[in-house]
Structures are given as structure tokens and as C-alpha cells.
Amino acid sequence: MRQTDRYFKFDWITIVLFLLLVGFGWMNILSASHIGETIDYFDFTQPYGKQLVFIMLTFLLIVILLSIEAKFYERFSSIIYLIGLLSLAGLFVFGKNVNGATSWYGIGGMTIQPSEFAKAATALAVAKYVSDMNTDIKSFKDQIRLCVIIALPAVLVLLQNDAGSTLVYGSFFFVLYREGLPKIYLWIIVVLGLISVAALKFGPLITIAATSVIVFGFHFLRKKKPSIIQPIAMLLAAVILTFGVNLFYQKILQPHQQDRISLWLRLEKDPEKIEQMRRDILYNLYESEKAISSGGFNGKGFLEGTRTTGKFVPEQHTDYIFSTVGEEWGFLGSALVVIVFVLLLLRILRLAEMQKSQFSRVYGYSVASILFFHFMINIGMVMGLIPTIGIPLPFFSYGGSGLWGFTILLFIFIKLDSNKINEW
């Protein structure tokens, strides 16, 4: 095999989209974190300087990832998964607390966040398990096992008080559904979601009333009537769920989480109170929406954002990086970023479907799902479409662990994809 063929095997479209996002992401980190008029690109005390180093190291990481034999990832997936779990568990002993979450290891002056790597590890494990010849995804036993594989890291992350990252593990549902998980699960999720939202928005009574009308209506319209037990059981479940959701909202959620949901579902009616909530509790969201909105159609220009320069949006170089894009690059730039993300996701999805080996396909699907979840939650949050959930925007947000985690996630798949011809 000639040298050139080896490079052409890699999917360069994905790689170019990845490079675009990383490069543009860094420009925005520069904007969001520079102080004063002079910029020293190699000032490593500043986020933009550090990120530049992270990006350079990323290229080294990519070379390593692509040099490893594709089979290695499948063969050692269980071990990688176990290492991931151990690194998460180790946080309880050696972890360093930053902003209330114990998600970091401190090594020298650096911090590493293992949860960013655990996603890739879990994806490998899920792919491995699903592609095992003995696994039947329709069997309840295997469903439970898969659930445990996914839930273990998720619970560990949740215990470190990083609820946002836990939610990301929900993205594996798309993977399992694609691989043949019974449709009933999809319906359960949809119905659960609808009832939860309705219970909070309209209160238990209206929700239960509406549910019973639907359930019994269906029951009586059906020609072949099953036992009456079925609708009654469903209704009972709905009742429990309804009260459960309210109980969960009121007793278990912390006040700041309650406010986020309350604002999102417009539970508060008093406009003055809403405005005050936006300013006090959801200050970040308020400022980020204002920054985005102030960008207008064309944006204020690179390094010209007044709200960015004034550091109006807290955490702007990390979770709220998209507001910088909004202010400085306007509608044109922001829409372009959204489009590039969508193209990347669709490209990964298409590559995954083209895989001959089930392992590669499941893994590819996991990559797309995880990235999609981050994309949807992060940008949705920054623009005020969904409640505030603090997770980074892949390839964009400041942070070495995040960048490397997503790079590993993506480039393992690029390597697997390049190997598809060799599959039998």
C-alpha cells in the first residue's frame, strides 16, 4: 500500500469541519479573554494563550490516535472503559473542588477533568457490548446490562455534582434506539417528558384529567378491546408520575435549578418578577442573550464586541462562548457556526451508517449523539431556549480536557472509519 493512500483513507471533510470549529473557537476565546488592547498570543497566563498550547498538543494527540491500529480500540474497549470508571471514582479521593464540583485532578499547575474522557470510553464500551454476537438488544437482560454500562459513569459524574455532564449520557438512547431498542422506550420517554412538563406547567389536576381523557378515549375507540386493567394501570402510572414530578421539583431540586425551570416554562406570571429573576438569578443568560442580540446582522467585528470586552457575560470563554460569536460575528457568523456543526453531525452520522462493522457503526453513532447533545444543550442554553445546564460547546469552549476529550472521541471514529475497507 502506497503512502498517499493511507492519508486519503481518512475522511477529510470531517477533519476540515473539525479544524474550522477549533480555529474559529480559539479566535472567540481570544476575544472573550483578552485584556486591554495589546495581545501577546503566547501569554500562557491567559486562557487564549493556554488554549493555543492545548490546540497544538491536540495535533500531537491526533497523530497518536490515527497511528494506533484500528483493532486496538475494539479489543481494548473494556479496559479503556474500566480505566475511565476508575479515573472517575478516583476523584472521590484525589479530586479537586472547583466551583462546587469535584471533577478535576490537579497535576502540577494543570487540572484534568476525567469526565470529558469518560464519554469516549463509555462509547467504546457500548459499541463493544452491542456488537457482541451474543448480545440481543431486544432482550430485557441485555437492555439492563447496557443501562448499567451507561449509568455507572453517569452516576459517578452526578455524585461529583456535575449534573450537566450526567445528562449527556442520555444521548446513548439514540444509539440503542438505532440498534433496535423496542419502540416502546421511545414512547415512554416522549410521554414521560410531556407529562412532566404538563405537570409543572398546568398542575397535577389538569394533567391527570387530560391524561385520563386520552387514555380512556383510546381504550374505547379500539375495536379489539384489551382488558380494562391496561388503561387503569397507565393512568395510575401517570398519576404517580405527575405527583412525583412535582415532588421532585419542589423537594429535590435545588432552588437555582427550580428557578431555571420556572423561567423556562414561564411558570412565574408576574412580568416584573420575571425580569428580576432574569437579572438576579439568571444573570448569565440575561447578559448572554443581550450580547448575542446586540450583535445584529453583521456583528460588531472581531475583538470589537463591547459587551465581550467589558466581560458582561460571566464564563464567556467557557460555557458561554457562543455569545461572543453572536456579538462579534452577528447573525451571519452565528448561523454559519450552527451550520458547520450541523454539517459535521450529519457527516458523522452518514459515515456511521456506511460502516461495515457494527462496532464502528455503534461507536460512530455514539460520537454523533454525544456531540449533538452538547451542541443542542449548550447553544440552546446560551440563547435561552432551554434551562441553564452548564456543559461546554465541543471544540469551541475553553479547556484542555474538553478539547482533548472531544478530539479523542472524534478521531477514534475517523480511524475506525479509515479502516472500513479492511473489514471482512
Distance CA 47, CA 29 (A): 7
Report CA 2 to chain centroid distance, whole Å: 39
Nearest approach in angstroms of CB 266 to another protein is 16
Distance CA 408, CA 77 (A): 13
Selected binder of another protein within 166, 294, 360, 407 (CB under 8 A): 294
Ramachandran category for residue 323: left, alpha or beta (phi over 0 → left; psi -120 to 50 → alpha) = alpha
Helix ranges restricted to H, 268-399: 271-280, 283-295, 306-309, 321-354, 358-382
Nearest approach in angstroms of CB 300 to another protein is 5
Site for another protein in 158-187 (CB under 8 A): 174, 177-178, 180, 186
Selected binder of another protein within 262, 334, 360, 397 (CB under 8 A): 334
Nearest to 54 by CA among 100, 131, 12, 113: 113
- Does the footprint of another protein cover residue 287 (CB under 8 A)? yes
Site string for another protein, 343-372 (x = CB under 8 A): --xx--x---x-----------x--xx--x
Distance CA 36, CA 328 (A): 17
- Does the footprint of another protein cover residue 248 (CB under 8 A)? no
Select 372 or 404, whichever has its Cβ closest to another protein: 372
Q: Which residues lie closer than 8 Å to 349 by C-beta, 6 or more apart?
A: 364, 365, 368
- Does the footprint of another protein cover residue 39 (CB under 8 A)? no
- Does the footprint of another protein cover residue 331 (CB under 8 A)? yes
Q: How far is CA 242 from CA 140, 205, 254, 324, in A?
A: 26, 9, 19, 40
User: How many residues of this chain bind another protein (CB under 8 A)?
Assistant: 47
Question: Are 379 and 152 within 8 A, CB to CB?
Answer: no
- Does the footprint of another protein cover residue 375 (CB under 8 A)? yes
* Residues binding another protein (CB under 8 A): 36-37, 174, 177-178, 180, 186, 287, 289, 292-297, 300, 306-307, 309-314, 326, 330-331, 334-335, 338-339, 341-342, 345-346, 349, 353, 365, 368-369, 372, 375-376, 379-380, 383, 385
